[in-house]
């Protein structure tokens, strides 16, 4: 299966972006260029049954993972996965081998067993039908107009049967994010998917967690600047952690300006 991909930038470092359910690669229309401006060559995929990629009702999780790995460069410097896309990314992590990974508002843990395909089809069909531009204009007033247009278009393109097949293939599976790759979870505050208990569990596993106040499940919509700051913070933190020198960390922070310097110093050395 050949997935549709979207690209930004020509940098030496590669960033792979994986959207969530009912969305598409177009959701990164602001994040992609922002990462490209920081030296990344950004590759965003449309997962099976999403965006401009073909429907694949029989793909299951293995098909999603294989098609992702076929579509993007191996060993990217950065991989980002949102919600359902983060499950696919986490499953692909050993073979993809990114330098670091960022998950966005992802409810890791046991998936529900005994998935009823007919019931799930009804739920997703209703969600697709309700995600119109008019509905999003009324509900998501904090988003930019382009955000709402992108998500309404993605809902029109969404193939229900493909996602029903995906969730049927993972029923009862316990998803736990790998810990051998430097990892960050970005969540909205509050989040119904990454609860305070989940934050505690993630941090106990060595996964850093950052929150964006007032954001929603698509955490970067309407909160782009705060969302991108967390990427910069994580990059500097990883340099410090693995170099184990304050000077490296301070140099990275200094290059980002005084705001970052104050913020990162307070978080890393006073928390």
pLDDT per position as a tens digit, 169-211? 998 888 889 999 999 999 999 999 999 999 999 999 999 999 9
Regarding predicted confidence, which is higher, 136 or 12? 136
Q: What is the pLDDT of residue 266?
A: 41
d(CA 87, CA 212): 21
Q: Which residue has the tokens 């007032």?
A: 214
CA dist 8 → 25, 37, 38, 41, 160 (Å): 12, 9, 11, 6, 29
218-232: pLDDT as tens digits = 999 999 999 998 877
d(CA 237, CA 208): 10
Given CA atoms 25, 26, 27, 33 in this order, what sign does their dihedral have?
positive
Q: What is the pLDDT of residue 238?
A: 57
Q: What is the pLDDT of residue 183?
A: 94
Q: What is the pTM of this model?
A: 0.89
**239 SS3 class:** helix
**How sure is the predictor about 271, in pLDDT bands with cuts at 50, 70 and 90?**
very low
d(CA 222, CA 214): 9
Regarding predicted confidence, which is higher, 246 or 73? 73
């Amino acid at each position: 299966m050949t997935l549709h991909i979207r690209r930004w930038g020509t940098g030496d470092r590669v960033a792979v972006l994986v959207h969530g359910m009912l969305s598409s690669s177009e959701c990164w229309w602001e994040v992609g260029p922002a990462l490209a401006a920081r030296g990344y060559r950004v590759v965003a995929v449309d997962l099976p049954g999403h965006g401009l990629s073909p429907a694949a009702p029989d793909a299951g999780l293995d098909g999603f993972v294989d098609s992702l790995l076929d579509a993007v460069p191996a060993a990217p410097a950065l991989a980002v996965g949102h919600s359902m896309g983060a499950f696919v990314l986490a499953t692909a992590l050993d073979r993809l081998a990114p330098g670091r990974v960022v998950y966005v508002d992802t409810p890791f843990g046991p998936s529900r067993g005994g998935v009823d395909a007919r019931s799930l089809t009804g739920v997703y069909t209703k969600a697709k039908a309700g995600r119109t531009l008019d509905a999003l204009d009324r509900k998501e007033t904090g988003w930019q107009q382009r955000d709402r247009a992108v998500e309404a278009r993605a809902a029109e393109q969404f193939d229900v049967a493909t996602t029903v097949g995906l969730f049927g293939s993972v029923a009862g599976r316990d998803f736990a994010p790998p810990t051998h790759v430097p990892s960050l979870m970005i969540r909205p505050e509050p989040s119904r998917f990454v609860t305070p208990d989940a934050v505690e569990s993630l941090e106990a596993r060595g996964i850093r967690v950052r929150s964006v106040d007032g954001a929603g499940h698509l955490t970067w919509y309407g909160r782009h600047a705060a969302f991108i700051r967390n990427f910069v913070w994580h990059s500097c933190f990883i340099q410090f952690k693995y170099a184990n020198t304050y000077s490296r960390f301070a140099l990275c922070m200094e290059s980002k300006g005084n705001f970052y310097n104050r913020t990162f110093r307070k978080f890393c050395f006073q928390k």
